[in-house]
Amino acid sequence: MKSSTLNDPFLVAKNHLLELTRRFPPETVPPQVIENMSSYQLDWPVWPTPALSDLVGPPNVVLKRLDLRWLHRFQMTVSLLGWLSSQLGGPNGGPSALSLLVERAPLLGLRGWGATSAGGSCKILASADRSIAVNLPRAEDQASVPAWLNSHVMGDNWDAIAAEVALQGSKELVHRGELLGIPVTSVGEAEPIEDYSDRSGGNTRFVGLPKVVDLSSMWAGPLCGWYLARSGADVTKIESSTRPDGTRKGSIDFYRRLNSGKNIVTLNFENSENVSQLRSLIRASDIIIEGSRPRALMHLGIDANEEVERGAIWISITGHGRAEAPNRVGFGDDAAASANLLAKVDDSLWFIGDAIADPITGATAATLALGNWLAHSAVLLDVGLSPTAALHSQGALSFGTVF
């Protein structure tokens, strides 16, 4: 993208909207709507904002400037989402792009720590050839560290992990992380979506308001489901009785925020009658949201392609894309680092926000779902955390300046 375009808020907004709407059938969003929406954002977002600036950099550092073109694009995503919601009869308004990014942190008592994520489980480390992001949020991630590093380093010893990582190449570290199911990524490896290879089931005829089954957990998928419920959809959230949504372990207020307006159904996926009930719920729905690796649902006899063929919209939210890396694990902080959605201040790389790829992906997934619903288009939407973050960062680091 030419520098003249990057420096023009109107053109940045318009180009982003055109990129998003490429995943709808033509003319779903009239060109004049895109022009008008872009014209509402003729200035860059203002920095600093108290909530976000508290989530960028170490506690004793205040940034004078930070490039917010990625936030400008996300504002456009949220604006388009509001317009699509209004076409369905829902509200055109609601949480701002900025509020979506910062709403969880105060509920969990989080703040920025520079090269360590707000949640504390992800760090930017220097490997032998380039920076990587390593995320160890689960007990199994920490337990796998010795195998990942091929050493006796324990998963709770970050100093030793950093020393060992510095001796090894990033490509091998990422590869072994993928094999072991650890969220590891090279900083900046993700690319903005260029070829939209969503699998289309063709035209369908949606009647009334959407009936949605939400199989997802944590943040991105449930946020998508919340937006659909807010737009008038009948949303049923499915939770495993043996592995409930991990958000319940954090802030119950945040769990309720993401799942208000949904019907909650708890099923045991190891029980054949419960699995049959799950299949029936999916078959009766218009939109399915899930954040599993494809093989997990196939094991239950659930095939996304079959649901699209019979006329449903299937939203697949993965770490790095269903088509490109279906079995690779990714969470909000490491996915953002993969997309270069980081602050670069002098020679340091810092996380921006709190698991920022999650809210960006959740709102984007809802936008794509509503656009295809309004166009009566059955489709399998491949919405990866890292490529969606890269769509908003365009692969560019956000340069900052300290006071």
Average pLDDT of the segment spanning 103-113: 94
- Closest to 337 (Cα-Cα) out of 192, 189, 177, 219: 189
pLDDT beyond 80 at 292: yes
Percent of the chain with pLDDT over 90: 80
> What's the rounded Cα separation, in Å, for the pair 325 and 388?
14
Please provide the distance, in angstroms rounded to a whole number, between the alpha carbons at the two ends of the chain. 30
User: What is the token pair recorded at 284?
Assistant: 């009766």
Average pLDDT of the segment spanning 20-31: 92
- For residue range 183-220, list pLDDT tens digits in order: 999 999 998 776 666 778 878 889 889 999 999 999 99
Sign of torsion over alpha carbons 320, 144, 173, 115: positive
Average pLDDT of the segment spanning 48-57: 91
pLDDT beyond 80 at 7: yes
Average pLDDT over the chain, rounded to an integer: 93
pLDDT beyond 90 at 4: no
Say which DSSP state 136 is in.
-
CA 355 to chain centre: 9
Q: CB–CB of 333/129 below 8 Å?
A: no
pLDDT beyond 70 at 3: no
| Identity of the amino acid at 202 | G
Position 372 confidence tier, pLDDT thresholds 50, 70, 90: very high
- pLDDT on residue 26: 86
